[in-house]
Amino acid sequence: MEKGSELIIPRYEFRAFAHSFGQVIDNIRVRSEIEFIRESRDIYLVTAVNDTHNVKLRYNQLDVKALINVEEELEQWYPALKLDFPVEAKRISEEVFPALKVEAPVLAREMYTADQFLRETIWPHADVQQARVFKQRFHFKIEGCMVETNELLVNGAAIKSVAVEAADAGAVLRVREMVGLQAYENVNYLLAIKRILGLAPLPDSTWF
């Protein structure tokens, strides 16, 4: 796929969430050294009716990724939109709110800063909730796949995540088994956050 003049290859992803991954982390670390560590503070925008578009604010940008395919338990995501603030009202009403699958409010400005966008279009919207997510991400590479372990705070709730990503679905499946993730459910950020906020049901196997 091409976006502008840049060729973008959608990546297959397997991601799991848990409070502890035990041996999985050890399996990753014995196969690869940490390539780099990144921290970010993101704001995810979620609605009860959207399961296919991951919408977030990060580094003064609006970022939208779209789920375009599901194959062999893996999800394939495509970076559909990345806008620097300030953002035109037209793009907010015609691209961002349709991604959230809810009606856009009346927009009084021609351009919106990130703060104006949140305060004037998101906070008052009855159908949109936000999750503030702090991420500490540890990046590894195994058999050509990007492997990531994350320490997360979602609206202050602590949870961990491990992901395997690559353009090659077969490689993702092999590395998933290699590090011991095959017993975990594949859960993307959007679904995980919706479960934490109570907008999506927990899996039947969850016990309290």
pLDDT over threshold 50, residue 1:
no
pLDDT confidence of residue 196: 94
pLDDT at position 203, please?
Answer: 82
Would you state the pLDDT for residue 205?
57
* Per-residue model confidence (pLDDT) at position 115: 98
- Asked if residue 206 has pLDDT above 70, the reply is no
Q: Count how many Cα atoms sit within 13 Å of the Cα of residue 60 in the half-sphere of its side chain.
A: 5
Nearest CA to 14 out of 166, 190, 144 is that of 166
Percent of the chain with pLDDT over 90: 90
pLDDT over 70 (residue 2): no
pLDDT at 40 exceeding the cut of 70: yes
What structural domains does the chain harbor?
2-197 (2.40.320)
Average pLDDT over residues 196-204: 88
Gap between the Cα atoms of 72 and 81, Å rounded: 26
- Name the burial class of residue 198, with classes exposed (0-12), middle (13-18) and buried (19+) by CB atoms within 10 angstroms of its CB: exposed
- Taking only the tens place, the pLDDT of each residue in 51-100 is 999 999 999 999 999 999 999 889 999 999 999 999 999 999 999 999 99
Q: What is the DSSP letter of 201?
A: P
Check residue 60 and give left, alpha or beta (phi > 0: left; psi -120 to 50: alpha).
Answer: left
pLDDT(29) > 50:
yes
DSSP secondary structure, 11-68, as one string: EEEEEEEES--THHHHHHHTT----EEEEEEEEEEE-TT-SSEEEEEETTEEEEEEEE
In the chain, how long is the greatest CA-to-CA distance?
Answer: 55
Q: How far is Cα 96 from Cα 174, in angstroms, rounded to an integer?
A: 35
Phi, psi of 98, rounded to the nearest 5 degrees: -60, -35
Joined tokens for residue 139: 């990046």
